Chains A and B, each alone.
Chain A
Amino acid sequence: MRPSLCALSATPRYALLCVLLLIVGGCARRASGPRPGDAGTGGVVEEGLGPDDSSLDLARQGRTSGEGTVLRDVHFPFDSDEIDDASRAALDGNAAWLTDNAKTRIELEGHCDSRGTVEYNLALGARRARAVQEYLVGQGIAAERLTTNSYGKELPVCREETEECWARNRRVHFATGKQ
């Protein structure tokens, strides 16, 4: 069982097992600490504590992130970081869950659709993540529970050149992980 699922489990029954898994997982991760200056040749240098189910980690395994079951993806209009009414509803639902699960730490990942160039979309994704972070803090979620990242258009959930797929990719995804 992946440690990330533990974060979503509120059942005390599996709590001990989860804790053990987290300890084991955490030890393995902490072995490679950040090394400023020399990044070495190849390999992954983890800096800080990124979530286990980040879209990048999943991509390394050849998987996409999914669009959230408990914590739903929040969507945006084209070239915008504005949170509209539909997104606000999803955000409020996520905020409620986060309030109920007060220990959970989340990484807010900003994503974009495939239109638009690489760097601009990285910047736009960062704005989207920031917008969601500010909204959640405004809803009373402690700021230290939230980190942000942007993947621009690099890690889409679908690749069709259609309005429907583009809309799915314009999102902030809630990645959870070791706590």
Chain B
Amino acid sequence: MMRMMRLHAKALAQLLTGLLAWIAVTLVASRPAGAVVTGSIFGPGTQTIAVAVTPLVPPAGGAANAFGVEFARVLSRDLEFSGYFRLLDPRTFVQGSGGAADAIDYVGWAAIGAQEIVRGTIETSGDTLTVEAHLFDVAERREVGEAGRRLQGPRADLPRLAHRYADHLLEVLTGERGPFDSKIALVSRRGGTLKDLYAWTFDLSAPVRLTQEQSIVLSPSWRPDRRGILFTSFRAHRPRLFDVDVATRAVTAFTPAGAVYLGGAWSPDGSQVLATREQDGNTDIELLDRFGTVMQRLTDHWGIDVSPAWAPDGTRFAFCSNRSGAPQIYVMNLDGSGVRRVSSVGSYNTSPAWSPKGDRLAWTTRVDNGFQIVVANADGSGARTITTAGSNEDPSWAPDGRYLVFSSARGGWRTLWLTDRDGRTLKQLTPGNGDDSQPTWSTRLD
């Protein structure tokens, strides 16, 4: 009897051990390698997730239509640009978006290397499109619930539905919403030999022209409501600031005749403009109200003071000055006080840009005879050069404070490129035959 009890005890112990082990293994293995770890944050470019984006189908079934195909195309581009994903070739797909979720062939998807699948429906009703998009994890064989989204908008805004979903997927994956539902304004000579203002969104190939100035156009700055863009034009022989209405393309003067301005930047709240004024060979930074009237002169120095860049809280700005003998980056309070230099490495630093998160600055630094992009903390510490190939200038931050767009001359053309603040991801945005420069990233569209 005692031996029986000992045997039973031993079996029970073994059973309990096995049970505990099974529980432990199940807990540990509930996130097998390769699955989406929701809410994790890792830099783009360190590892990529293999994703299959299937064209959306009508809710009633049937093959994907043009809207569904286009949604998938734009979403795929955004995910590719983000640097977090590797897009699988649609020609290898084992299934489309049709059919029930419980009919997903996870084995087949795994066989082509997919880790995530985007599926969904798109419905047209009058002018309104309704998208239901879902993300499925191959290893876990289930939907990632928090990644499912219902999006609605007019037909003409189809690309925005895809951008919004891409931004949402990035939020689910990294905790930070993506930047793709936004616009980039830039200067380009694509239309001829003289520069004009252009706009670009992530679903486009080439930028769209906004002005026909027949002169030199420089230094665009988005008004925060994105309805207007402030820019410098030589149309009146000497540079002045003008505003272009994005919807009507009407150009109106912003600064008055008789004053020379080299560039301007809208405040984050759209109430003021910091502008570079030139008089008698000297440049200084002025504060203007939203009608272009001078309120205050902020720098009063014999040196070159240019390129003001607002801090997102509107209380300070960065600028470029050669008051020390060569161009460096400085920060000043909006009342003109507290000037301090923030660039400490390199002999030539220009074009500051302040992250919308407030925590970082980017600028252009001269290296040999070319230029590279630097990212630093807002006080200038921790400066790192994040580009190496080609000559790279004029960084502008994305609304998420993670990505930057800049102008790069490599391979003979100057085009726009995307990177992240650690310089790990690198993607070309605009096609060759460019001469694209001075990009500026808008706020998010909603």
A residues sitting closer than 8 Å to B (CB atoms) are 34, 36-48, 50, 54, 56, 59-60, 62, 79, 81, 115-120, 122-124, 126-127, 129-131, 133, 148-151, 154-155, 161
Contacts and interface: CB of A to CB of B under 8 A. Distances in A.
Nearest to B263: A119
Contacts of B307: 117, 119-120
A131 B350 CA distance: 23
A68 to B, nearest CB: 20
Contacts of B251: 39-42
Interface string B17-53: 0000000000000000000000000000000000000
B416 interface: no
Contacts of B249: 41
Contact of A154 (B195, B252, B263, B281): B195
Contact of B250 (A41, A115, A130): A41
Interface of B: 193-195, 211-216, 218-219, 234-239, 242, 249-253, 256-257, 260, 262-263, 276, 278, 280-283, 304-307, 320, 322, 326-327, 348, 350-351, 364, 366, 369-371, 393-394, 437-438
Residue among A39, A127, A151, A155 with most chain B CB within 10 A: A39
A47 B263 contact: no
A34 B320 CA distance: 32
Nearest to A147: B238
A46 B237 contact: yes
Contacts of B371: 115, 117
A116 B394 CA distance: 10
Contact of A119 (B257, B281, B322, B351): B351
Contacts of A81: 281
B350 A120 contact: yes
Given A59-B194, A120-B306, A38 B252 contact: yes
Nearest to A118: B218
A44 B194 CA distance: 13
Contacts of B364: 117
Contact of A36 (B211, B253, B276, B326): B253
A42 B235 CA distance: 9
Residue among A37, A50, A120, A127 with most chain B CB within 10 A: A120
A62 B238 CA distance: 19
Nearest to A151: B216
Nearest to A36: B257
Nearest to A50: B237
A43 B233 CA distance: 12
